Structure 1
Amino acid sequence: MYFFNAKFGGVAMLKALFCNAMTVLLLSALSQTTRADSLTDQAQALLDQGKAKEAYSLLEPQEAQRAGDASFDLLFGIAAIDAGQNTRGVFALERVLALHPENARARAEIARAYLALGETDTAKQEFESVQNQGVPPEVSATIDRYMDAVDRVNAATRTTLRGFVEASLGYDTNVNAATSKSSVALPGYGGTIILDSDSRAIDAWFGTVGGGLNVSSPISNEVVAVAGLTGVIRNNFGASQFNNVSGDAYAGLVVTRDKNVFSLNAQFNQYNLSGDRYRTASGLSGQWQHNMDARNQLSAFVQYADLRYQTQSIRNADRWVAGGAFAHAYRGGEVAFASLYGVNETTHDGDVPWLGFNGVGVRAGGQLNYNAKTILFAGGSIEYRHYSAEDPAYLATRKDTQYDLVIGSTYTPARYWTVTPRLTWTFDDSNIELNKYHRETAAVIVRREF
């Protein structure tokens, strides 16, 4: 989850963020030796106090006389940009770079000016030039984040195609999400059944490969058409009967108006199990996102899916989910979020109401920056489901409470590459023994975006 919208915020938000965060890093990490005099000392003091307009007014009358003095031009360029005189700032910094093309601070500042002027491609080139000069890791990581934000701005003004490939290796204590019991009572049939091995929890190592493509194309200043495809193949070593393939497709529109973002997508999912078609889900999803400010975001969502099981048509159902969420980004880069939702499944076949349910759930989580290349994250959810009628096999109405936890980290060794070790825990506490289970997974995921 990120707190950025190309229409609301856009270049203006990037400029503000850059001023508040990146500039601090660059000024400390990339400072160059400059010739000090009373004028530049006074201007530097004003900049340190956040008085860019005063610094600009102090230096501007001396530009004609001191143009070509690198120390003067650097400070004048920074003051001009901070005072909103971006074109004047570019001219001053170009004079610095003409004499000292290796000056990383001047190049970073001119990138900031180009960003403020909306020349995102040129800004990105300059940021990349700074990185190529071997800046400290924390500065390089910060530049990466802002270049990613530049990409999102570009996506609002031009057709863009983005994608990813990934692979994972891990261990799963319950690949089939089954009970650990060897037998269960069926009071409706007056006896007990012995469960075969495939109906009991099976642990296995697993590997996955996957990828996806996403395209966005602006229709107008406020409307963007989006579409995408993703797919994942999972192999369970020693439990191939539960190997699966999942594919998703979506297409829709995103409409941005001031601080509000509306999205509507048609979606389709195909899930194959052990080489055979198992289930499809087709439907719609809609979301309203309100950017209260640069750090706080509200959203509401609704989803509908028509679930169809190819070999178990009795389970075919309509599924609805609706809810709301709130997210907050802290000044240090930490993010926290919470969501509350309701869910309903109603079977197409009215003769099996015990397979449908109503439920409610809550999710919460967050992330923090451990260092320049590593993000730590954690989250959890609780979902309660009350089924619609008594199950004749168990002579009881099913009630489930499912608990989920996830914890992990994302390490970025280089731009576009991430390595994510992750642990998950699931416990479904059901009053029907056959549906009560726990599951733990540990995996490492390597991802390359392009």
Structure 2
Amino acid sequence: MGKHTLCFIVLITTAFAIEANTFKEDAAFTQLKQLITANEQSSAWHYAKTLEAEYLGDADFDFLYGLIALRVNETERAVYAFERVVANKPNWLDARYYLANGYFKMKNYHGVIDIVNAISLIENIPDNLKASFAKLQAMSVSQLNKQAVYVNHSLAAKLGYDSNINAGTREENILAEDNILGEDILLSNESRENSDNYLALDYQLIGSKALTQTSKLVFSGLGQLHAFANESNYNRLLVDARVNYQKEFENFTTSVGLKVTPLWLDDSYYRTQFGSTIAINKQINNQWFVSTEAYLGKTNNSVNEQLNTSDLSLQMAAQFALVNWRHTLSFAVSQEQSEHLENSHNDKQTKAINYSSLWLINPQWLASVNIGYQHQAYQDKQPFFLETRSDDMWLLGTSIQYQYSNVWIYRISANIQDKDSNIPLFSYQRSDISFSVSMSF
């Protein structure tokens, strides 16, 4: 090989090496880093993608590229980027940490544990980074345990006061012009507003069984026993049991399931609601989450089969989350149709809108507020009042809870209902104040 040829090869090689390592000195590095630091996720990701062709393979670019890819849920691209960084610079501990984060988001929990085990052999790791690795490892071990069978139980005891246990009216009588009989009717005490103190016991079970890395069975059970101090005829026991099959796809998660909800009233079996559900959920980014669910079912009433209905509902919700705040706005529409033509006056369509907010004051204190509105439009004239019933209800709820430990939680709650109907008998106001203690195990 000639001297000039050798010099040419050396010059080309040197020039390539210089070009391949110029990203950190390039203005693009500063601009991309500033966008990431300012939490301008969308702009940073768009800008990073314009630099792919020129800088992919450069460790400094791959690190920033992987960082913003993680934030916008482009997890696979993030993992590939951090794998390149670690391969080229195995001592870059931050890159290993973010690679472990990527593995965790992809449910590659064994990969996370392998990284943490390798890191444990390195000396002089900063304490904060060591703690972060340990947290990731603990979370991965927990998720692997859940992939067998995961079950969580909670038990709560609640003391409360209900100002209107039977959702009764304040009216003392039904006026003559308001009913088919043409005469004033004095309402009994059982038909009017009635208040009482109560004790409630709640038991909840939530469990799951992983089938694959992207699918699982989720099952839950809820039992609520409500006992009043003086009006025992309003005591009730509600059971809600559900099982769902969940499947994760690249851009969304879907589930199909069954649920059954029997109710006992005054120690007697009263009714059962049962049906099937289908839902689609999508995590748009770290802040936005949207979901929709449809339900098709039936209500069978054991006391009076004339109250049997076919039920249909659709609900859509959007959730926006910040560090310490979570806001949820939902809209639902439902239809209840009687199985008996003579009871068509009970057929109704309900439209509801609801806003709820959770505020994490600190790791122990959590506050919540819930505001809702419902409109119920009945489909036929009420036979006693000769009017087609129309109801509007406002709901307000608020609570504050203190988490004493991972096991014990204390909560104070207040709920208010204000229902207005074109038929005065069905208008009422109701408030419920309670204090509860719950434990998880």
Q: 2:331 aligns with which of 340, 357, 360?
A: 340
Corresponding residue for residue 182 of structure 1 = 172
* Cα distance change of structure 1 residues 369 and 215 upon mapping to structure 2, 3 Å threshold: closer
Match of 2:166, SS state, is coil
Contact 1:77 1:93 in 2 (8 A): no
Corresponding residue for residue 125 of structure 1 = none
> 2:97 aligned with 1:81, yes or no?
yes
> 2:153 aligned with 1:163, yes or no?
yes
Corresponding residue for residue 132 of structure 2 = 109
Map of 1:170-209 to 2, 5 A cutoff? 170-185=160-175, 186-209=178-201
* Cα distance change of structure 1 residues 84 and 286 upon mapping to structure 2, 3 Å threshold: closer
CA apart distance, 1:232: 1.0
Instruction: Give per-residue Cα distances to partners, 1:329-374, cap 9 Å, x unaligned.
Output: 11x2211111112111111111121111122111111111112211
Q: 2:369 aligns with which of 346, 360, 378?
A: 378
Corresponding residue for residue 216 of structure 1 = 208
Cα distance in 1 for residues equivalent to 2:151 and 2:238: 22
Match of 2:132, SS state, is helix
Structure 2 length normalisation: TM-score? Answer: 0.72
Instruction: Give per-residue Cα distances to partners, 1:78-120, cap 9 Å, x unaligned.
Output: 67535769767655545659xx9xx9746513314636xxx72
Corresponding residue for residue 391 of structure 2 = 400
* Cα distance change of structure 1 residues 403 and 84 upon mapping to structure 2, 3 Å threshold: closer
Name whichever of 78-87 and 264-273 sits farther off: 78-87
Q: 2:279 aligns with which of 278, 287, 296?
A: 287
Structure 1 length normalisation: TM-score? Answer: 0.71
Contact 2:324 2:361 in 1 (8 A): no
Match of 2:168, SS state, is coil
Cα distance in 2 for residues equivalent to 1:351 and 1:84: 64
* Cα distance change of structure 1 residues 391 and 80 upon mapping to structure 2, 3 Å threshold: closer
Structure 2 unaligned runs (5+)? 1-36, 38-63, 68-81, 102-111
Q: 1:273 aligns with which of 246, 265, 269?
A: 265
Contact 2:116 2:137 in 1 (8 A): no
Q: 1:257 aligns with which of 234, 249, 254?
A: 249
* Cα distance change of structure 1 residues 321 and 433 upon mapping to structure 2, 3 Å threshold: same
Cα distance in 1 for residues equivalent to 2:136 and 2:174: 69
CA apart distance, 1:295: 1.5
> 2:116 aligned with 1:120, yes or no?
no
Cα distance in 2 for residues equivalent to 1:435 and 1:281: 23
Structure 1 unaligned runs (5+)? 1-19, 21-46, 64-75, 122-149
Q: 2:359 aligns with which of 361, 364, 368?
A: 368
Q: Identity over the aligned pairs, expressed in percent?
A: 17
Contact 1:77 1:90 in 2 (8 A): no
Contact 1:77 1:88 in 2 (8 A): no
Larger radius of gyration, structure 1 or 2? 2
CA apart distance, 1:212: 2.3
Q: Which has the higher contact order (CA 8 A, sep 6+)?
A: 1
Q: How many residues align?
A: 350
> Which residue identity lines up with residue 193 of structure 1 in the other structure?
I
Cα distance in 2 for residues equivalent to 1:393 and 1:403: 26
Cα distance in 2 for residues equivalent to 1:287 and 1:158: 24
Name whichever of 178-187 and 410-419 sits farther off: 178-187
